[in-house]
Amino acid sequence: MNFHPNSGNDSFTSNDLIDLTYSRPLRYYDNEQQFQQQQQTQYRQQQQTQYQQQQNIIDFQQQYQQPQQQQQSTDHQQQQQQQQEQHQNQQQQQQQQKQKRYSNYVYQILKKTGEGEFLIEAYDFEITNEETVALMKCPPFSISKVSTILVWNEKFITRSCVISPDRFEELAESAHQLFPTIPKDCFYSKRSSDCNPSGSLHSSYESIKAKHNALIVTPRPSKKRKATSDVTKEFTEEFKNLQNEVNEIDSAYINQWGTETAAKKRLEFYQNNKISTIIATLPNITQPKGYLLIQADYSKFFDKSSESKLYEKWPSLSEKILKQAKKKASRCADCKSYLDDNKDCITSEQKSNLAFFLLPLLFKKTLKTSVRSSAKTNWYPTKLEVLNSFIFHLKTVDTIIQKVHDLNSNIIGFIQSEIQTDIKNTINDEQYYAIQTILEDSKRSFNLFLSEHKRLGIYETDSIYKPPLPFFIGKEPVFIQCGDEKVKVDEKDVNGVRIPLLDTFNAIIKIPGLLIEMKNYYNYLCQENSRISNFIQADLWRKKYCKIYENKEYVFPTVLYYDEFETRDPLSSHSG
């Protein structure tokens, strides 16, 4: 049916309606065949477009996914390599931690006991595992148990129940290094102005100390010598010969005195008897040359190897002494004063000397018997007295006589009070006079320094002192007063004095070690660029004078100066 709206026919059937539905596009096309061709063409174009899109997608996937897969494979390999490196680093860190543990003092102490090993394993388990809920009910690791083991070990090593605060600090630091998650203050916190010492180490120490004082298992040994009832029991033949008095102590008798058998018996005899018994049994000691026998005993019984050991280990010991003194400076005013006065010490020799002075200040006070009061009470020597008894430091030459006299007075007074009880009833007047002479001679040991003339003579012989050399200037008339007039009666020479610079330089440079220190200081100044403290750091020296003397290895600038001088020696003791 061909229906056209403008044809004027308005009646149609249901079939016509169906045909009308499919025939509406015919308004734009001439016939139905043309419409079908157009539909097929559009369908083929759509199919081609879809195919082309699918082909483009396939090509894109081939071009993109293959590098992506390669990249993913490369990333996977890199991840595996990084994981291996991380695993190796973890193993190295674990190995380093194990080695660090092996060198830890607290770790070594805990490994000696079964309970200590259990505490270390328990700590590692709590750190590396997450099963803390079950462990909270009954935690196997305990700080108090660790502290108890450490305190018992200190008591076992020192054979006493006294632990210093510095030792507590060292133990707490070592324990904190072994158990880093536990703060150091949990183990020990030292006393301050606001609170007393605290921590698990101190609590364990107080508990063990209370038990120790309550038990008193081992009484303190007596320091008194064991008195022998029979002095002459079973002496050897060599020792009996030493009891016989001789007219003169010569080299042959000294050799006889030092025989091996007699020396062993004599040492045992010294240890088990009082001084009065020793002098009564060996009377030759009281002779004028008896000190030679005492010197022979000292050189034989004293271990001389200890001197060389101290000398060899002193460089490392001096560093530890300085470190300990700095820790103690807050509580010891003398240590702090010495450190402040010598804070400019740079060289190793200066630091070594400073450590030598600080050494006696680190020891605890010693109780001594004094005769300073009428009650003869005990007293504690001051730090300065301890230091002067250890090494006597003189800063100026002018005070040497007075300082030595004061030192001898203190020492001799103490020695006399100590030996008075032993020599009262055992030595006669002659022997007492001999001992008193020795003590008085110690006061006269510095008579060589009594006058300036004697001191200059010693300095000229044994040190770098060079006396000034006189030279003739001219003559000066000498007048006498006769009434109101002055009459010339004579002429006298007028001399000047000088000290050659060459002699002065030679004397100074020849001081052992001084030239090395000068070179080291010169090199230090040349390398120091942050601040200028010496002339050789200035541009004038570097740009001008260094070029003039560039062929020389070292050139030291010297500042020359002169002091005021007046003739006729107006400042001497005989002037005026």
More confident residue, 385 or 318: 318
Instruction: Give the range among 377-381, 454-458, 502-506 with minimum mean pLDDT.
Output: 377-381
Does the structure show a pLDDT above 80 at 527? yes
Does the structure show a pLDDT above 80 at 237? no
CA 91/CA 178 separation, integer angstroms: 18
Per-residue confidence (pLDDT) for residue 226, from 0 to 100: 46
Per-residue confidence (pLDDT) for residue 421, from 0 to 100: 53
Does the structure show a pLDDT above 50 at 234? no
Calculate mean pLDDT across residues 273-284: 81
pTM: 0.30
Q: Which DSSP string corresponds to 215-281? A: H--SPPPP-SPPPPS-TTTT--HHHHHHHS--S---HHHHHHHT-HHHHHHHHHHHHHS-HHHHHHH
Calculate mean pLDDT across residues 162-179: 84
The pLDDT tens digits of the residues spanning 323-380 come to 888 888 888 888 888 888 887 777 788 888 888 888 888 877 665 554 444 445 566 6
Does the structure show a pLDDT above 80 at 398? no
By C-alpha distance, which of 228, 246, 251 is closest to 282? 246
The pLDDT tens digits of the residues spanning 96-146 come to 777 777 778 788 787 777 677 777 777 777 666 555 555 445 556 788 888
Per-residue confidence (pLDDT) for residue 311, from 0 to 100: 72
Report CA torsion sign: 374, 375, 376, 380. negative
Calculate mean pLDDT across residues 376-392: 69
Amino acid making up residue 223 = K
More confident residue, 575 or 49: 49
Per-residue confidence (pLDDT) for residue 6, from 0 to 100: 44
**Beta-bridge partner residues of 472:** 495
Per-residue confidence (pLDDT) for residue 167, from 0 to 100: 84
Instruction: Give the range among 397-411, 501-515, 530-544 with minimum mean pLDDT.
Output: 397-411
Confidence grade of residue 20 (pLDDT, cut at 50, 70, 90): very low
Q: What angle do CA 418, 419, 424 make, to 5 degrees?
A: 130
The pLDDT tens digits of the residues spanning 191-200 come to 877 778 888 8
For the chain, helix (H) and strand (E) counts, in that order, are 25, 4
Confidence grade of residue 11 (pLDDT, cut at 50, 70, 90): very low
Confidence grade of residue 8 (pLDDT, cut at 50, 70, 90): very low
CA distances from 530 to 497, 525, 538 (A): 44, 10, 12
Calculate mean pLDDT across residues 257-266: 69
**Beta-bridge partner residues of 495:** 472
CA distances from 473 to 566, 567, 569 (A): 14, 12, 16
DSSP structure class, residue 189? B
More confident residue, 217 or 256: 256
Confidence grade of residue 573 (pLDDT, cut at 50, 70, 90): low
Calculate mean pLDDT across residues 40-52: 77
Q: Chain-wide mean pLDDT for the chain? A: 73
Per-residue confidence (pLDDT) for residue 32, from 0 to 100: 59
